[in-house]
C-alpha cells in the first residue's frame, strides 16, 4: 500500500527548500496530483497502475471494443468525455483523444508500442517452457488461468508470444514478439 502522506511530506520539504519558481510549480503540481488521486477515490487504481508499471505490464488501457465504430460510439457518448487514454479495438492499441473544438473523441491507431514488445523480447520474462501448436490452443490455456499472469512468454508453433493480462479491463491477449536483438559487441 502506498503512503501518500509520506510522499506529500517529502514533496513539501523539497518545496520549502527550493529557490526555483519553476521547480516549486512542478512540486505543487505533483502534490496537487496526489491530493486529486486521494480525494477522488482513485488511490487503489493508482497503486494498481504503479504495480503494473513495476511488473512491466502492457501499457494501461481503459476499455476494449470489438470494432472501431463501437469504440467511437461509446467514447463519444461518454460524459464527461475522456481527455486522452489508450483503448483496445480488437487487440490493437488506439489513442482516444477528445477535441473540444468539435466536441468529439477521435481514435488514432497506435499499435502496441514497438519498444515495449522489443523490451519484452530482449529483457522481459524468459520463455516459460509452455508450447502450443496453435494460437487457439494458447488462447484456451490463457482463458483457463484462474489468476492470469501479467505477462509470460509462450511458444506458438515455434514462435514466441507474450501472453499478457490487461488488469484494468480483465482482458487476456497474446502478442507476437519480435526477434531478440543481439547484444552490441564491444570493440
Tens of pLDDT along 49-75? 888 888 888 888 999 999 999 999 999
Coil vs helix vs strand at 127: strand
Q: Are residues 100 and 141 in the same domain?
A: no
pLDDT above 60: residue 1: no
Q: Alpha helices of the chain — where are they, by DSSP H?
A: 4-17, 21-39, 43-54, 68-77, 114-123, 135-144
Q: Is residue 146 part of a domain?
A: yes
d(CA 123, CA 32): 35
In a domain, 98, yes or no: yes
Q: Beta strand pairing status for 64-65 and 104-109? A: unpaired
In this prediction, residue 179 carries a pLDDT of 85
Residue 127 lies in a domain: yes
Q: What is the pLDDT of residues 152-184, one digit of tens each?
A: 899 999 999 999 988 889 999 999 998 887 766
Average pLDDT over residues 17-26: 94
With respect to residue 184, please indicate whether it lies within any of the assigned structural domains. no
Edge-to-edge strands, sheet with 171-176 = 127-132, 151-156, 159-166, 171-176
Same domain? 17 vs 36: yes
What's the total number of domains in the chain?
3
Cell of 175: 502478442
- pTM, full prediction: 0.78
The reported pLDDT for the residue numbered 140 is 95
For 80-167, where are the alpha helices, taking DSSP H only? 114-123, 135-144
Amino acid at each position: 500500500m502506498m503512503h501518500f502522506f509520506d510522499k506529500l511530506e517529502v514533496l513539501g520539504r523539497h518545496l520549502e527548500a527550493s529557490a526555483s519558481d519553476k521547480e516549486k510549480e512542478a512540486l505543487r503540481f505533483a502534490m496537487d496530483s496526489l491530493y486529486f488521486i486521494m480525494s477522488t477515490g482513485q488511490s487503489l487504481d493508482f497503486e494498481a497502475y504503479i504495480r503494473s508499471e513495476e511488473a512491466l505490464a502492457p501499457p494501461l488501457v481503459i476499455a476494449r471494443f470489438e470494432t472501431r465504430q463501437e469504440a467511437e460510439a461509446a467514447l463519444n457518448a461518454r460524459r464527461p468525455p475522456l481527455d486522452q487514454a489508450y483503448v483496445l479495438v480488437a487487440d490493437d492499441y488506439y489513442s482516444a483523444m477528445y477535441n473540444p473544438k468539435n466536441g468529439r473523441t477521435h481514435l488514432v491507431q497506435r499499435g502496441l508500442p514497438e519498444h515495449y514488445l522489443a523490451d519484452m523480447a530482449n529483457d522481459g520474462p524468459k520463455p516459460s517452457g509452455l508450447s502450443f501448436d496453435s494460437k487457439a490452443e494458447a488462447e484456451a490455456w490463457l482463458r483457463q488461468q484462474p489468476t492470469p499472469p501479467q505477462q509470460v512468454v509462450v511458444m506458438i508453433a515455434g514462435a514466441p508470444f507474450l501472453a499478457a493480462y490487461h488488469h484494468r479491463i480483465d482482458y487476456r491477449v497474446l502478442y507476437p514478439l519480435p526477434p531478440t536483438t543481439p547484444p552490441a559487441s564491444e570493440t
